[in-house]
Amino acid sequence: MEQAFKEITVWADGATTINHTYLFDGDKAVAYIRYGTADPFWFKTPMKIDKRGRKFEKVSNDPFALSMNVFTPSNTKEVEGSKGAKYIINLDDNTCTCPGYTFRGACKHVKELETA
């Protein structure tokens, strides 16, 4: 039976790492739900995730019953990237789910909100 676990790890780098929700079948991850979304991304092959140093909390036994409210806090804003991809900005932490922020810890989406 699949179970959903939201990662609640507090990472050493602070706000630059965004936690997601993972769907497990036994000890293997079969999908994840990206922060700020509700649709699972299914892995082609189930995989083990190293849980050392990470914390998770159980969300639901039924991943299809998970609601958008579980994944999108009210302090977020959805923005569109230059190529049409959608990203989520956390307005409290000034973080973004875009690749630029993930790798550099800064992005134009957050800067545009700060200057607006």
Q: What is the mean pLDDT of residues 46-68?
A: 72
50 contacts 72 by C-beta, under 8 angstroms = no
Which of 44, 46, 49, 45 has its CA nearest to residue 20?
A: 49
pTM above 0.85, yes or no: no
Mean pLDDT (the chain, rounded):
77
The residues, any chain, with a CB within 8 Å of residue 32's CB and separated by 6 or more, are 20, 21, 22, 23, 40, 41, 43
Instruction: Identify the helix (H) or strand (E) that includes residue 110.
Output: helix 108-115
Determine the average pLDDT of the residues in 60-78.
55
Q: Which tokens go with 21? A: 């929700």
Q: Which residues contact 18 (CB under 8 A, 6 or more apart)?
A: 35, 95, 97, 102
Residue 57: burial class (beta carbons within 10 Å; 0-12, 13-18, 19+): exposed
DSSP state of 71: H
pLDDT at 74: 57
pLDDT band at 73 (very low <50, low <70, confident <90, very high): low
